[in-house]
């Protein structure tokens, strides 16, 4: 077997392969046996059909096509291994010559995993780590007070009162929002409950309700903020029609031992406070860790160089789209609904993500490069434990094997653990 390798831009390569007749004759013989078993010919048992009879039945072209497919699959895998080429994506195969008795020639164009180089990345990481050490913050008492207040407010009692609405009250309202006399989309609500003073509506709305009493109706004009999330409404004027149905006085419990005990897990207010402080510290630590690692990725990507194959970028955009669809499902929205509202196509949305997709691919390649250079790998036992954590939600092994790809789960678990170990290594660089 002879092969000529021609490198192309963006980590693609063209392989020109030639097999001698002696080498690919075995594939022709194999094709005769394979087709002889699958093609029924009257008077012959399966696998015992003579070649000349088989050719009259299916044609010589079909026989050589089967042999060519066998030769390509066999020789392509061999030459990739021999030339240390890690091919990715679907290869483009072109048959050149495959006449019986002569050479078998074909070419393959494929993407390959790119070569990755990192320049002075350790110094970049040292800079990030020094900066992070100076920015680490603890939880303040005011933050604990604010969190406790939110807990108390979530357990506030509401009592309907026959008076005007005041700041801090809960109110039940019906409202209608119109532009040029026409109701806007999602601009109608009945029995809507809100707390005055929380600022959950656009500026001026809650202020207009202050002083109203149950049964009273009111109309007023406001403009949507310039930075309003619905761009077609941003900065536009609208007319609001509101009917106040009830005013509810809100009583927030005092944060004392009795309140702590009412939550079921604390004997004293101080025990509750300690628990809240611990939760906030954990949240802040995780947020700082995420920010820290984000800065490390930015630093490493800035000194990472690789010619990215289009297939890797395309696959990453696909992952981003799947992640986005999951996020939308959590707010009961579909991708189709989002695209319709934003007046975009799926292709336009993915095109917007190309830059971010390239960055994500580059960061993954950089982490893999560091892991390889520093011999950072999770143990077999660690990967198995990680897989078992994912599989514990399945009742039986049979169910797990049916519902998920165990090979892909193994690769995902190993990759996640490897990246975690790389980050831990990076965090220790001083």
Digit-by-digit pLDDT tens for the chain (430 residues) are 899 999 999 999 999 999 999 999 999 988 888 887 777 777 777 667 788 888 888 888 888 888 999 999 999 999 999 999 999 999 999 999 888 888 999 999 999 999 999 999 999 999 999 988 887 778 999 999 999 999 999 999 999 999 999 999 999 999 999 988 888 888 899 999 999 998 889 999 999 999 999 999 999 999 999 988 888 888 999 999 999 999 999 999 999 999 999 988 888 999 999 999 999 999 999 999 999 999 999 999 999 999 999 999 999 999 999 888 888 888 888 889 888 887 888 888 888 999 999 999 999 999 999 999 999 999 999 999 988 888 777 655 566 556 677 788 888 899 999 999 999 999 999 8
The pTM assigned to this predicted structure is: 0.70
> What's the pLDDT at 17?
95
* Rounded CA separation 214/249 (Å): 13
> What's the pLDDT at 402?
65
> What's the pLDDT at 397?
57
Do residues 136 and 287 lie in contact, with contact meaning Cβ atoms separated by under 8 Å?
A: no
Phi-psi region for residue 264, left (φ > 0), alpha (ψ -120 to 50) or beta? left
Residue 79: which residues within 8 A CB-CB, separation 6 or more? 1, 3, 15, 17, 85
> What's the pLDDT at 214?
95
* Rounded CA separation 76/18 (Å): 11
The sheet that has 12-19: what strands, in order across it? 2-8, 12-19, 104-112, 87-98
Ordered by where they begin, the domains of the chain are: 2-113 (3.30.70.1050), 157-251 (3.10.50.40), 308-427 (no CATH)
> What's the pLDDT at 331?
84
The single residue listed with the structure tokens 């950089």 is 366
> What's the pLDDT at 290?
92
Phi-psi region for residue 15, left (φ > 0), alpha (ψ -120 to 50) or beta? beta
Element (H, E) at 237: strand 237-251
List phi, psi (to 5°) of 163: -145, 180
* Rounded CA separation 394/19 (Å): 49
> What's the pLDDT at 227?
87
> What's the pLDDT at 236?
92
Q: Where are the beta strands (DSSP E) in 2-148?
A: 2-8, 12-19, 87-98, 104-112, 117-118
> What's the pLDDT at 414?
92
> What's the pLDDT at 132?
86
> What's the pLDDT at 364?
94
> What's the pLDDT at 337?
86
DSSP 8-state symbol, 384 = H
> What's the pLDDT at 417?
94
* Rounded CA separation 313/319 (Å): 10
């Amino acid at each position: 077997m002879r092969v000529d390798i021609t490198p192309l831009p963006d980590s693609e390569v063209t392989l020109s392969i030639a097999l001698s007749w002696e080498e690919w004759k075995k594939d022709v013989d194999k094709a005769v046996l394979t087709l002889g078993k699958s093609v029924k010919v009257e008077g012959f048992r399966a696998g015992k059909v003579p070649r000349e009879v088989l050719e009259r039945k299916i044609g010589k072209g079909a026989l050589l096509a089967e042999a060519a497919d066998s030769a390509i699959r066999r020789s392509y895998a061999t030459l990739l291994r021999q030339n240390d080429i890690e091919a990715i994506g679907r290869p483009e195969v072109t048959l050149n010559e495959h006449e019986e008795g002569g050479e078998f020639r074909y070419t393959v164009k494929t993407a390959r995993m790119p070569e990755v180089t990192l320049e002075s990345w350790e110094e970049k990481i040292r800079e990030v780590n020094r900066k992070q050490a100076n920015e680490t913050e603890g939880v303040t008492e005011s933050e604990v007070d604010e969190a406790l207040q939110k807990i108390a407010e979530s357990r506030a009692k509401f009592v309907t009162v026959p008076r005007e609405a005041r700041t801090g009250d809960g109110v039940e309202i019906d409202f209608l929002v119109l532009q040029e006399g026409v109701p806007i989309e999602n601009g109608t609500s009945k029995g809507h409950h809100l707390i005055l003073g929380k600022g959950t509506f656009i500026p001026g709305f809650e202020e207009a309700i202050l002083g109203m009493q149950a049964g009273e109706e009111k109309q007023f004009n406001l403009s949507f903020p310039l930075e309003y999330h619905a761009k077609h409404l941003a900065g536009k004027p609208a007319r609001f029609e509101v009917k106040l149905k009830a005013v509810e006085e809100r009583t927030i419990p005092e944060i004392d031992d009795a309140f702590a005990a009412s939550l079921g897990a604390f004997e004293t207010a101080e025990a509750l406070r300690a628990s809240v402080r611990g939760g906030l510290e954990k949240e802040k630590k995780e947020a700082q860790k995420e920010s820290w690692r984000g800065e490390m990725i930015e630093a490493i990507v800035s000194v990472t160089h690789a010619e990215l194959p289009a297939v890797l970028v395309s696959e990453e955009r696909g992952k981003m789209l799947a992640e986005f669809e999951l996020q939308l499902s959590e707010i009961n929205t579909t991708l189709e609904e989002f695209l319709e509202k934003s007046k975009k196509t799926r292709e336009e949305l993915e095109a917007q993500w190309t830059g971010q997709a390239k960055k994500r691919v580059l960061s993954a390649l950089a982490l893999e490069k560091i892991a390889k250079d520093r011999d950072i790998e999770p143990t077999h036992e660690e990967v198995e434990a990680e897989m078992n954590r994912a599989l514990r939600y399945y009742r039986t092994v049979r169910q797990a094997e049916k519902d998920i790809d165990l090979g892909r789960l193994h690769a995902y678990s190993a990759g996640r653990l490897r990246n975690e170990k790389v980050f831990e290594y990076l965090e220790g660089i001083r």
